[in-house]
Amino acid sequence: MDDKPITILLVEDDESIAEPLIFGLQSEGYRVLHTEDGLQGLALARSDQPDVALLDVMLPSMDGFTLCRTLRQESTLPILMLTARHQEMERVMGLELGADDYVVKPFSFRELLARIRAVLRRRQLDRSALSPNELPASSDRLVVGAIALDRTAREVWRSGQLLHLTHREYNLLRVLMEHVGEALPRQELLDQVWGEDWIGDPRTLDVHIRWLREKIEDDPSAARYIQTVRGHGYRFVEPLGAPPSAPGED
């Protein structure tokens, strides 16, 4: 991070929550943009390019889930959902729409601060992963079936077609393909892809696995490459009858 203060977008319509949050975040040196309206939050995200977004779920004009989905379609902005709801499915929904984490109200300011710092660290790691200085000196490809992964170019191809993966999806697929045939524990995958100091819901791993399957599998509901090892984790395998395909082949 440079000397420019980190900007946090807070979209929260409950003043009893927003006011102490703004005070606390500003006391920690953050610049805070606040609005009570979902559509206004979208406009601020587009115009001011914040570093982190904190989104309430129940908002006027546009609810937090819709706002989260829209922001994720447009950017890789780290998103934390703030919700008073305790239903598991709604927490999972936020993750599936692209949220990086969630905090259930009531929460302590210290907990929220830790989660903000965690997503900022992950964002910095994702950015540094794109630096040429961090990449291997020569081309290094992994090919399993019809999937080809180039670790130098950070590109993935399926049957000759370039796939568009997020940084996290790419890193997860790389780890799986580097250990083809091995059953990798969930915690090992989280440690290698999200970092050992990561704070968040471990079910985000399952969400990213589902997204990967949608991109690399012929039928995501009957996965041939990424197998679930129940009670343990996931395994990447070479399916029978899937010939390798190099980048650029038709």
Q: Are 78 and 182 members of one domain? A: no
Inter-CA distances, 250 with 148, 158, 160, Å: 13, 10, 5
pLDDT of residue 201: 81
Q: Taking residues 97-124, report their average pLDDT.
A: 84
Tell me the three state secondary structure of residue 227: strand
Tell how strand 101-104 and strand 141-144 pair up. unpaired
Q: Across all residues in the chain, what is the average pLDDT?
A: 84
Q: State both tokens at 58.
A: 């129940």
pLDDT of residue 104: 84
pLDDT of residue 228: 95
- Tokens 């399957």 -> residue: 213
Q: Write out the residue range of the structural domain in which residue 191 sits.
A: 135-236
pLDDT of residue 166: 83
Helices within the chain (DSSP H only): 15-27, 38-48, 64-74, 88-96, 109-128, 167-178, 186-194, 204-216
Q: Are 14 and 123 members of one domain? A: yes
**Confidence band for 250, pLDDT divided at 50, 70 and 90:** very low
Specify burial of residue 92 (Cβ count, 10 A radius: 0-12, 13-18, 19+).
Answer: middle
* CATH code of the domain in which 25 resides: 3.40.50.2300
- Is residue 246 assigned to a domain? no
Does 54 have pLDDT greater than 80?
Answer: yes
**Confidence band for 1, pLDDT divided at 50, 70 and 90:** very low
Residue whose C-alpha is closest to residue 119's, from 136, 91, 99? 99
- Is residue 2 assigned to a domain? no
Total number of domains in the chain: 2
- Is residue 244 assigned to a domain? no
- Is residue 82 assigned to a domain? yes
pLDDT digits (tens, 9 = 90+) for 123-165: 776 555 444 334 343 347 888 988 999 887 788 999 888 888 8
Which helix (DSSP H) or strand (DSSP E) does residue 30 occupy? Answer: none
Q: Taking residues 188-195, report their average pLDDT.
A: 90
| pTM of model > 0.85 | no
Distant-in-sequence, close-in-space partners of 233: CB < 8 Å, separation ≥ 6: 183, 184, 185, 186, 187, 188, 189
pLDDT of residue 161: 87
Q: State both tokens at 250.
A: 């038709």
Q: Taking residues 42-62, report their average pLDDT.
A: 94
Q: Are 20 and 123 members of one domain? A: yes
- Is residue 249 assigned to a domain? no
* b/e 112-148 (16+ beta carbons within 10 angstroms → b): beebbebbbebbebbeeeeeeeeeeeeeeebbbbbbb
